[in-house]
Every structure is written in structure tokens, then in C-alpha cells.
């Protein structure tokens, strides 16, 4: 039950079925658990999940694309953050359609490397109390948000799995615990009945007992950390997962709310970039570290991230840039990466192995419970207490080694104990590698594997036959012993088979490439391939035809699937009568291989019938096999991106011109602030952007003063977050730029304190002068209570003599309360003049602007801001997914730019720091069949020539896709802009 301090909330609404040994929260029996795993609607389930933030893919039609790719890799769940500042919906309907459970993580604080950790910006300046405590005003601030989450979530509870309350937080001091208790009370007083959980950002034993304790404890673990500079240098695996779990909550399932699936990347010229992160956390990492997690007996696992996406607009916190690719298995542009096949091999194994969902941790090779011939190998034994199926998970004893290790293993089976392999030289770990050796492993309706040192990709039943698909490395031997039934018709080359006492021992010799048939009878089909070939296979589920509950959910509506090899992606499959309909994506010609029920006579691909290669199919299997050549249309190779030309230009910094009026700007006259970091110096006025509702992107300040001949300089302390910048003018004269800094998370400077000297002739003596400050601001910090209230703005202002008169401030039109663009949201725009006028929006008339190429930079090599706008047309036929990116020059220059595509701020190029210069933009923001508007706000930070270039690049062409992607790019309107 949920442990709280309020006794009235402990009263169970429902009784847990007697004699089951299950635990629940007293509010529902649809989600129960024991020390092994979750029990959902009476079925034991291994939750195999990947993190996906819908707010980082602001095209809802493409959520289906990600969910299909998640499901195709064998995952049965996603974990989803809700972003309080954006109030994004979660993909409940799409997830139900695909058959994916959702673990909902609404916060209010989510971290996720987002601005203010997801907390709405207005809270950071309007709430005086400490955030994420039991402070009264903070309590009032999150009420509407949480009630909204409850309202939206309740209809999808059974398919979502339940919310995680807040995120990555300590249970002490008491104010933290009281805050969690208050959040729990809000859910318990609602119609949310699924269990509540939280994630502990390290082994801190938080939220297991005491005030604020949750139903299910979750742990975060990122064993490689977040610096990808040396992607071939590993940190060792964590060896105490199991012992830690046993010490803190042994009676409960073992849940990893976040396990490393990639890494964030930082600003700076030495930042490694996400390609290196994809190497550091690549397929070998997934193989060794994920299986090490399995060996700790974890049965609810979420990999962070599976799809990272884009931190567009003001989404990112100061430590990261626009791309949130994260080195994930699914890239930011939605392409499948080199990491994806390994996750798919793991996912299909888990889906095929229900005995693995309930296992006891028996011991390992250092504790005497497992015996190996070579101490360089480390093996952990998990065993199902009901079926006695055993899973020996092997890795290198020194997990960072690249040495090849060969060993033999003593196993316990239903026919006795013996050493395996029995016929080959040993089990080989090829450097950084893990393997699972199974014993007494069931597949199909009645078949058994006595043991196998080959890896299991698929085990199940297809068309009445028991089917097993094994794989192994082509450079080493592997071996399996299993009961083979029926009369074999095909046996592949490279296989040695010896039968004894009804059990066949099969040896797979080195050198096997591609798919071979080991056994093909009316009762069984056994296949084997090399590891890479196994990664090209899919096992799409066949949904139940009857209108059953959870028709698309594995274990619930269906247990039927097929095998499909070859295509880039298989999205879904249906069988109607004798026709098998496959839907998916192609980017090249491939051989299609299908194992299906033998009553399938016709196969279609994306609705088009395919001609079978009968001879090839008969060499694979006599029944249920289908082989053909799939070839995409010639259109796949015919796309050429349009050139970005005919740029129109206008100055976007009229604020420094003589006669500019800031009469309609907001007076910056506050003398108090609820932000805990006070000004350093000045006259008592507080110049923090959020205090005036300007929390996002670029903010401008104008300080008025009268000058005399003794006025020589001004001191300004400016806070903008790591990698920020602020350029200062007096009247129309450039003074200097203050630079924040970040060099791959080192030398971070988020605040400056500089003296700006007034050049001769820049001041108007005995007249009004104006200091103009243009700064990036309000990408707020995260993690600590005070950091979400960072003092973005001017923390100190002082003339060498005299005082400032009026200060004015301007950010986005309407601030965070009355911002104009309700579709793109509060984080999309800032305070540049061009933004305030809507120059970035499609439909704004630039015909009167001058023609000036972007590569020419600003006129006269001045420091300032200019807007460049052009349009281009796309004409991409339906049925194609064509990922595209906008690519800037990759040269260090003193400029920053904001990239807008059809009104969406899809990138911030910081040329003096880097590393990002390529910005993916999705269909739906891009109009595949129409005119697209691209705008670049170019900020030259020094009075020197800058020469940015921008090209549109096609990253790939895939025939297929999800189709039906709608654009939602509201055009320019004069309302509120003029």
C-alpha cells in the first residue's frame, strides 16, 4: 500500500486476491506486483521501455512513427515526461493503437535537461517560497497543472501504467518529503488509481519508507557518465545493483526508471558531438551494460533516451544545445542508427522468453554458485522457480577489456549437471561482449532447449509450428542441445548435428554468414544466422481480429507473430484470409524473407502484391516460407534539396537608432524580487527578465542617462546562463560583447561583470543617452531548489559618475502571460524586433526588403542583428519519409543565429562556441508539398565581417513512412504585431 501519514488514505478500495502473494496500492487490482515483476491484469509482465519526450517532437502525427519503431524493436512500453511549461499531451491514443504501455512522468519537475527542469517560468519569479518543498505558494502553483494531468490521464490509466511523481529528488530535509506527500495526496483524492513511483538519482534509498514514500521505488543509473570525448574508453559496469536492491527493498520488484541509453552533449569547441556519444553507448555498451542490468534481476527497465529529439526554441537548459539527439538508438531525425539492431535483438529475446519475467537471483561465479573454467569470465545465474528455466548471463570479469575470453560453464539441467559446450572448444566472449546461455528453455507449444550457447532471437509458434531462431558470431563456434520433432527436410551447411537419447546436439561452426535452416519439419522450424543478419529480422505481431480488449498488446490481445527479414523497417502486419499484408519502409533493394503460417498464399508490401522466389523459399523451409526481392521505386534516388537563395534582408535592431521610442516597453522599476539571488550593485532596481514576464530567448534592456564630460564608462554584470552572450551599445555605438562560456561542461561562465568604456564622440553631453543591452536569457538552470530561480538579466549597473534614469525591458510580445503564438507556445519566440513584428512567420511580406545573401552577413561589417528571410518549395509524393536538415557553415565566427522554419525556432547556431551546425527539421513543420519559409536572425557580436552559409540537406529517403502528416504552422497576422 502507499505509505502516507494520513490514515484515511490507507483504506483499501479493493482487496488483493488471496493467496497470490501479490502487492498493490489498495486502489486497483489491474496493476499489482511481487518481488519479481509487475502483474498487469493478471499477467506477469517484463516492462521493457524507452524514453520518448513528445514535446521534443512537436509534430503529433510523427509520434506514431516513433511508437512503431519502439514496438518493432520488441519494446512494450515508453516512458513519457510531461513538460509543465508546454502542457503537452501524452500520446495515449497512439500508444493504444500500437500496443504500448506508457509510464507517465508528469513532474512538475522533470529535469530532462530542459529549462527550469520543466517548471513553468512564471513560477520561478512569482513564487517566493522554495520550489519543490511544502511552501504554501509553491503548493498553490502546481495545483492546476496536476489536476490537469489527472483529468487527461484518467481515461488512459490501464494503458499507461501510472504516473511518476516529481523526479530525481532527495527525501530530506522534511520539506521535500512533505512536498511529495502533498503530491501523492492530490492523486489519491482523484480517480487516478494506478501505482505511484519516483526515481532516485543514485543509490540514496529515497522514497522507500517514511513520509512521501511511493508505491514502487525506482533508480537512475548512468554508468558511463556524460562526456563522450573518449568514446572507446569505458568505465566498468556497476557491480552492486543486486546487492543494493536486496538491501533496500528485496520484497519488491527491481525498477530502473532511467538507465543510460545515450548521453547529453555540451556546448563548446571541444564538445565531442552526438556521433561520439553513439559510439560510447553503442551496440557493445548496450550488450554488456544492459545485460548486466538484467543480471541484477531488474524486471522494469527504461532506457533514457530511446528517441531524444529536438530542444527547439527555449527548451534546453544552459548545459546543452538545440539537438537532444542523445546518441540514441533512434536519431533526432528519426532514422534508425547502428545502436538499434542490438536493442531489437534484446527486445525480441525478452518478448520470446516469458520464463525470464520471474527469476530468482541464484548467484555468480565469484560466489561459488556458478562454476566457470576461466576466471576471466564472470557469469550470473537467474532461474525461474516454477519452470526451472535458467539464464546464465556471461560477461568479461573485467568489463572494460577488449580481450577475447573463452571458457566452459557448468550448468544445471533437467537431465543433470554437466559442462557446456560439450562438443566445441568453449564459449567465446569477443572483447566487450555479453551472452546469455539458456537451459531448460521452452519455445512454441511444447519444444525444449536443453541448453544453448548460441543466442536466442526468437522463440514462439508460427502457423502451428514451434519456431526457434538462434544466432552467433561468425568468428566463433556455438552449440545448442534441443529436442527435435518430426522428419527434417532441410539442414543448412556449417551445421553438425548429433542425436542421443532423443536430444539433438547442434554445433554451429565458424564462418556462417546469413540465414540457414537447422531443422525443418511439420512440427518445428529451427533457424540460425550470424549476429548482423539476426539484426535485420523483425517479428511483427499479428493483432487479434476479434474486438478483444487490448487487441494490439502482446500477451493480452495477441501472442501471434511472424518473422520478416530484410527491410529497413517493418511497421505492422495483418493477415486477412490467405493474404499477409506487410507495411514498412525501404531505402534500398533487399531480399525479403518471411516465415508465416502455411495458409498464407499471398504477400503484399505497402499494399502491392509481391512475386515470390519459389526456389529460394523452398531452400529455407517447405511450409510457411516466402522469399522475394523488394526494390524501392526509382524516386528514392531522385530527390534533390532546393537551394536556399533570394534572401531578403532587414535590420532587426532599430533600438540603437536615434529617435527610437521605448515608450511602450515595460518599465524595469521593481525594487524587490522573489528570486533569491539579489543584485550586486546599482540603485536598488531589479533588472531580472522573469520579474517582468520575459523569461525566454532574447531580451533587450534600455537604460537612459544624462552624460557629462566626466562620464567615461559603465559597469554591467549580466547573467544569462552558460554559453550566453550580451552585446552592449551606447546610443548607436557598439561597446563590446560579454561572453558566457562552456567548453564541454568545463570553464562554464554564466555570468559576467565587465566595464564598458565609452569611445570618444559616442555620448551626447548634457543630453539623454541610452545603453542598449541585447542578451540571451532565461534558459534557466535545474536540479537544485534555488537554481530554477536563476537571476537572468542585469545583476549590476553603474556609471563611473552619475545615475541612470529610466530602465525599460522588452522580451517576447505579451510575456509569459499573454504571448501571441498559442500553437508554437511560450518557448518559441523572444524579444528581437523581427520576432516582435512576426518576420519569422510564414506569410509576412518581405517584398520591400533588400536582396542580400545570407553569406554576406550584416552590411558594413557592423555588430548588430539582421533578419534574412527566403522561401522554397517542396514536392515530395505521399508514401515517402525524407528526413532533412538545415546545415550552417562549420567555421568558428563571432555570430549567433536563430533558425526559424515556417515560424518554428528550430535551432540556435552559436558559431563562436559550437558544436552544433546541423539542425534537423521534421515533416509537419516542413510542408512536403508546398511553400516553406525559412528565416535566420543573424546576430553579429563583433564589428567584423561574418559569412554564414545555410543549406538544406536530405539525410535519407525512405519509401513508406506513417503518412497523413499534417502541418500546423499558423501564418503571420498583424494582430498584436504592429
DSSP-derived secondary structure for 785-836:
TTGGG---EEEEEEESSS-EEEEEEE-STTTTTS-S-TTT-TTS--S-HHHH
| Residue 411: strand pairing partners | 418
Q: What is the pLDDT of residue 167?
A: 57
Contacting residues for 624 by C-beta, under 8 A, at least 6 apart: 462, 463, 465, 525, 595, 596, 597, 598, 600
For residue 143, report the phi and psi dihedrals to the nearest 5 degrees. -60, -50
Angle, CA 254 vertex, CA 251 and CA 260 arms, to 5°: 160
**SS3 state at 976:** coil
Q: Which of 258, 332, 335, 342 is catalytic?
A: 258
Q: What is the pLDDT of residue 4?
A: 26
For residue 705 the three cell numbers come to 542617462
| Residue 741: strand pairing partners | 749
Residue 916 has pLDDT above 90, yes or no: yes
- Most confident range (mean pLDDT) of 78-92, 150-164, 188-202, 425-439 is 425-439
The answer for 66, left when phi > 0, alpha when psi is -120 to 50, beta otherwise, is alpha
Contacting residues for 639 by C-beta, under 8 A, at least 6 apart: 876, 882, 954, 957
Cis before residue 305, ω within 30 degrees of 0?
yes
Residue 6 has pLDDT above 50, yes or no: no
Interhelix angle 136-153/174-188, rounded to 10 degrees, is: 30
Q: What is the mean pLDDT of residues 675-680?
A: 94
Asked about 168 being catalytic, the answer comes back as yes
Contacting residues for 818 by C-beta, under 8 A, at least 6 apart: none
Q: What is the pLDDT of residue 781?
A: 52
**SS3 state at 499:** strand
Cα–Cα distance measured from residue 586 to residue 591, given in angstroms and rounded to the nearest whole number: 11
Residue 699 has pLDDT above 60, yes or no: yes
Contacting residues for 247 by C-beta, under 8 A, at least 6 apart: none
Residue 735 has pLDDT above 90, yes or no: yes
> Contact at 8 Å (CB) between 338 and 278?
yes
**SS3 state at 169:** coil
For residue 582 the three cell numbers come to 506487410
Nearest Cα neighbor of 290 from 49, 120, 52 is: 49
Residue 745 has pLDDT above 70, yes or no: no
Lowest-pLDDT range of 482-486, 678-682, 775-779: 775-779
Furthest-apart CA atoms within the chain: distance in Å: 108
Q: What is the pLDDT of residue 741?
A: 82
Q: What is the pLDDT of residue 968?
A: 96
Cα–Cα distance measured from residue 399 to residue 223, given in angstroms and rounded to the nearest whole number: 12
Tell me: the pLDDT tens digits for 225-256?
999 999 999 999 999 999 999 999 999 999 99
> Contact at 8 Å (CB) between 78 and 50?
yes
Q: How confident is the model at residue 638 (pLDDT cuts 50, 70, 90)?
A: confident
Q: Which of 51, 113, 130, 168 is catalytic?
A: 168
Cα–Cα distance measured from residue 320 to residue 672, given in angstroms and rounded to the nearest whole number: 31
Tell me: the pLDDT tens digits for 844-868?
999 999 999 999 999 999 999 999 9
- What's 643's DSSP letter? P
Cα–Cα distance measured from residue 245 to residue 888, given in angstroms and rounded to the nearest whole number: 48
Residue 3 has pLDDT above 50, yes or no: no
User: Per this entry, what is the length of the chain?
Assistant: 978
Cα–Cα distance measured from residue 166 to residue 179, given in angstroms and rounded to the nearest whole number: 10
Work out the mean pLDDT of the chain and round it to a whole number.
Answer: 92
Q: What is the pLDDT of residue 552?
A: 87
Asked about 856 being catalytic, the answer comes back as no
Amino acid at each position: 500500500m502507499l505509505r502516507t501519514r494520513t490514515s484515511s488514505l490507507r483504506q483499501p478500495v479493493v482487496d488483493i486476491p488471496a493467496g497470490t502473494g501479490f502487492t498493490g496500492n489498495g486502489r486497483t487490482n489491474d496493476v499489482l506486483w511481487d518481488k519479481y515483476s509487475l502483474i498487469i491484469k493478471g499477467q506477469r509482465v517484463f516492462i521493457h521501455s524507452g524514453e520518448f519526450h513528445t514535446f521534443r517532437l512537436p509534430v503529433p502525427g510523427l509520434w506514431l512513427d516513433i511508437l512503431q519503431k519502439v514496438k518493432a524493436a520488441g519494446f512494450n512500453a515508453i516512458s513519457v515526461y510531461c513538460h509543465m511549461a508546454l502542457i503537452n499531451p501524452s500520446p495515449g491514443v497512439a500508444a493504444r493503437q500500437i500496443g504500448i504501455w506508457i509510464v507517465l512522468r508528469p513532474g512538475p519537475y522533470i529535469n530532462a535537461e530542459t529549462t527550469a527542469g520543466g517548471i513553468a517560468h512564471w513560477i520561478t519569479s512569482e513564487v517566493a517560497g522554495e520550489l519543490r518543498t511544502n511552501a504554501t505558494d509553491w503548493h498553490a502553483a502546481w495545483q492546476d497543472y496536476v489536476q490537469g494531468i489527472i483529468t487527461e490521464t484518467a481515461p488512459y490509466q490501464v494503458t499507461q501504467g501510472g504516473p511518476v511523481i516529481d523526479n530525481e529528488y532527495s527525501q530530506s530535509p522534511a520539506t521535500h518529503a512533505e512536498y511529495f506527500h502533498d503530491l501523492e495526496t492530490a492523486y489519491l483524492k482523484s480517480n487516478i488509481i494506478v501505482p505511484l513511483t519516483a526515481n532516485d538519482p543514485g543509490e540514496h534509498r529515497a522514497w522507500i519508507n517514511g513520509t512521501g514514500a511511493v508505491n514502487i521505488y525506482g533508480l537512475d543509473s548512468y554508468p558511463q557518465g556524460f562526456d563522450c570525448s573518449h568514446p572507446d574508453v569505458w568505465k566498468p559496469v556497476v557491480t552492486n545493483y543486486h546487492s543494493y536492491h536486496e538491501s533496500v527493498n528485496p520484497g519488491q520488484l527491481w525498477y530502473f526508471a532511467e538507465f543510460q541509453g545515450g548521453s547529453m552533449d555540451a556546448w563548446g569547441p571541444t564538445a565531442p558531438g552526438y556521433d561520439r556519444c553513439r559510439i560510447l553507448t553503442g551496440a557493445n555498451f548496450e550488450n554488456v551494460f544492459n545485460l548486466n542490468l538484467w543480471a541484477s534481476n531488474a524486471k522494469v527497465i527504461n532506457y533514457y533516451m530511446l528517441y531524444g529529439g529536438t530542444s527547439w526554441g527555449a527548451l534546453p537548459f544552459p548545459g546543452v544545445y538545440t539537438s537532444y539527439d542523445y546518441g540514441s538508438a533512434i536519431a533526432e531525425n528519426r532514422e534508425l542508427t547502428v545502436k538499434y539492431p542490438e536493442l531489437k535483438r534484446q527486445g525480441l529475446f525478452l518478448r520470446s522468453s516469458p520464463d525470464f519475467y520471474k527469476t530468482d537471483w541464484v548467484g555468480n561465479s565469484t560466489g561459488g554458485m556458478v562454476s566457470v573454467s576461466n576466471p576471466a569470465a564472470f557469469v550470473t545465474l537467474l532461474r525461474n522457480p516454477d519452470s526451472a528455466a535458467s539464464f546464465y548471463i556471461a560477461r568479461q570479469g573485467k568489463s572494460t577489456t577488449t580481450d577475447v575470453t573463452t571458457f566452459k560453464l557448468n550448468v544445471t539441467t533437467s537431465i543433470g549437471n554437466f559442462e557446456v559446450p560439450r562438443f566445441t572448444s568453449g564459449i567465446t566472449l569477443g572483447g566487450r561482449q555479453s551472452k546469455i546461455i539458456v537451459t531448460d528453455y521452452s519455445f512454441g507449444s511444447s519444444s525444449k532447449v536443453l541448453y544453448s550457447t548460441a543466442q536466442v532471437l526468437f522463440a514462439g509458434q508460427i502457423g502451428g509450428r514451434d519456431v526457434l531462431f538462434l544466432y552467433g558470431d561468425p568468428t566463433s563456434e556455438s552449440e545448442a542441445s534441443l529436442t527435435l520433432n518430426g522428419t527434417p527436410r532441410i539442414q543448412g551447411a556449417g551445421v553438425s548435428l548429433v542425436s542421443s537419447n532423443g536430444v539433438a546436439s547442434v554445433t554451429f561452426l565458424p564462418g556462417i554468414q546469413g540465414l540457414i535452416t537447422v531443422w525443418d519439419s511439420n512440427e518445428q522450424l529451427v533457424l540460425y544466422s550470424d549476429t548482423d543478419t539476426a539484426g535485420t529480422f523483425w517479428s511483427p505481431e499479428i493483432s487479434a481480429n476479434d474486438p478483444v480488449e487490448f487487441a494490439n498488446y502482446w500477451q493480452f490481445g495477441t501472442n501471434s507473430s511472424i518473422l520478416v527479414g530484410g527491410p529497413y523497417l517493418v511497421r505492422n502486419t495483418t493477415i486477412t484470409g490467405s493474404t499477409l499484408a506487410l507495411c514498412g519502409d525501404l531505402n534500398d533493394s533487399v531480399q525479403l524473407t518471411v516465415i508465416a503460417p502455411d495458409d498464407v498464399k499471398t504477400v503484399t508490401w505497402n499494399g502491392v502484391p509481391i512475386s515470390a522466389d519459389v526456389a529460394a523459399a523452398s531452400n529455407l523451409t517447405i511450409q510457411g516460407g516466402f522469399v522475394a526481392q523488394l526494390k524501392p521505386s526509382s524516386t528514392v534516388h531522385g530527390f534533390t534539396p532546393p537551394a536556399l537563395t533570394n534572401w531578403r534582408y532587414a535590420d532587426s535592431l532599430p533600438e540603437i537608432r536615434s529617435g527610437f521610442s521605448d515608450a511602450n516597453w515595460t518599465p524595469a522599476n521593481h525594487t524587490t524580487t522573489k528570486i533569491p539571488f539579489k543584485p550586486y550593485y546599482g540603485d536598488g532596481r531589479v533588472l531580472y527578465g522573469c520579474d517582468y514576464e520575459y523569461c525566454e530567448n532574447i531580451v533587450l534592456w534600455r537604460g537612459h542617462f544624462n552624460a557629462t564630460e566626466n562620464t567615461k564608462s559603465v559597469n554591467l554584470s549580466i547573467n544569462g546562463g552558460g554559453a550566453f552572450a550580451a552585446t552592449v551599445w551606447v546610443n548607436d555605438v557598439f561597446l563590446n560583447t560579454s561572453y558566457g562560456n562552456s567548453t564541454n561542461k568545463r570553464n562554464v561562465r554564466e555570468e559576467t561583470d565587465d566595464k564598458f568604456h565609452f569611445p570618444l564622440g559616442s555620448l551626447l553631453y548634457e543630453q539623454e543617452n541610452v545603453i542598449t543591452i541585447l542578451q540571451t536569457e532565461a534558459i534557466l538552470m535545474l536540479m537544485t531548489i534555488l537554481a530554477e530561480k536563476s537571476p537572468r538579466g542585469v545583476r549590476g549597473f553603474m556609471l563611473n559618475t552619475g545615475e541612470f534614469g529610466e530602465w525599460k525591458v522588452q522580451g517576447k510580445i505579451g510575456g509569459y502571460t499573454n504571448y501571441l503564438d498559442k500553437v508554437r507556445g511560450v518557448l518559441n519566440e523572444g524579444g528581437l524586433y523581427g520576432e516582435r513584428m512576426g518576420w519569422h512567420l510564414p506569410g509576412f511580406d518581405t517584398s520591400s526588403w533588400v536582396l542580400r545573401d545570407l553569406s554576406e552577413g550584416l552590411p558594413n561589417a557592423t555588430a548588430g542583428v539582421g533578419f534574412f528571410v527566403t522561401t522554397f518549395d517542396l514536392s515530395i509524393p505521399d508514401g515517402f519519409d525524407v528526413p532533412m536538415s538545415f546545415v550552417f557553415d562549420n567555421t568558428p565566427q563571432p555570430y549567433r543565429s536563430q533558425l526559424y522554419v515556417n515560424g518554428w525556432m528550430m535551432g540556435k547556431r552559436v558559431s563562436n562556441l559550437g558544436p552544433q551546425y546541423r539542425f534537423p527539421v521534421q515533416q509537419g513543420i516542413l510542408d512536403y508539398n508546398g511553400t516553406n519559409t525559412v528565416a535566420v536572425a543573424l546576430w553579429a557580436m563583433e564589428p567584423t565581417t561574418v559569412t554564414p552559409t545555410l543549406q538544406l540537406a536530405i539525410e535519407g529517403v525512405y519509401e513508406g513512412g506513417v503518412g497523413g502528416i499534417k502541418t500546423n504552422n499558423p501564418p503571420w497576422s498583424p494582430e498584436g504585431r504592429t
